Amino acid sequence: MNITQDKVVELDYKLTVNGEVIDQSESGEPLVYLHGHSNIIPGLERALEGKTSGDALQVTVQPEDGYGERDEDNVEDLSRDDFEDDVEVGATYYAQAEDGSVIPFTVMSVDGESVKVDFNPPLAGMVLDFDVKVLSVRDATAEELDHGHAHSGEHDHE
């Protein structure tokens, strides 16, 4: 069965940036996603279209097809008073937007009462290199289609 819209795909992957491993699936714990529903970055999803179980491929994803370009307007200075506890450089925190959505940000530096934070995704502006092996492809269930994501086990609603 080929990877097309509304198929559930299981794959093993390794993501590297500039030769450094950034992320990878654990042995026996593949990434499971619903194809065509923006569950993975666009560049990787396009590269997987039409592939089938057993296919292995290397995919290079440019920033515009990954996490986007870095936007220096997404770097801001916040007051240390905006934080409840100690502020750790490099840590990820979460802010609530006006619409109620949650936005992650990373602390870049702390200077007295000023905290410089970055609202860009950590991999924004980076070229992503994936080594991928397709393990299985199946039709999505009605429930998966209704929810817009794959369920990897019974009662999986993450």
In single-letter form, the type of residue at position 79 comes to S
Domains by residue range for the chain, with CATH: 7-67+124-147 (3.10.50.40), 72-118 (2.40.10.330)
pLDDT in tens, 62-95: 999 999 999 999 999 999 998 888 899 999 999 8
pLDDT in tens, 12-62: 999 999 999 999 999 999 999 999 999 999 999 999 999 999 999 999 999
Average pLDDT over residues 131-146: 96
> Could you give the C-alpha distances from 68 to 44, 76, 137, 141, in angstroms and in order?
13, 18, 28, 31
- Write the DSSP assignment of 94-120 as a string of letters: EEE-TTS-EEEEEEEEEETTEEEEE-S
Buried b (16+ CB within 10 A) or exposed e, 27-41: eeebbbbbbebebbb
Q: How far apart are CA 107 and CA 15, in angstroms?
A: 24
> Could you give the C-alpha distances from 35 to 63, 80, 136, in angstroms and in order?
20, 42, 12
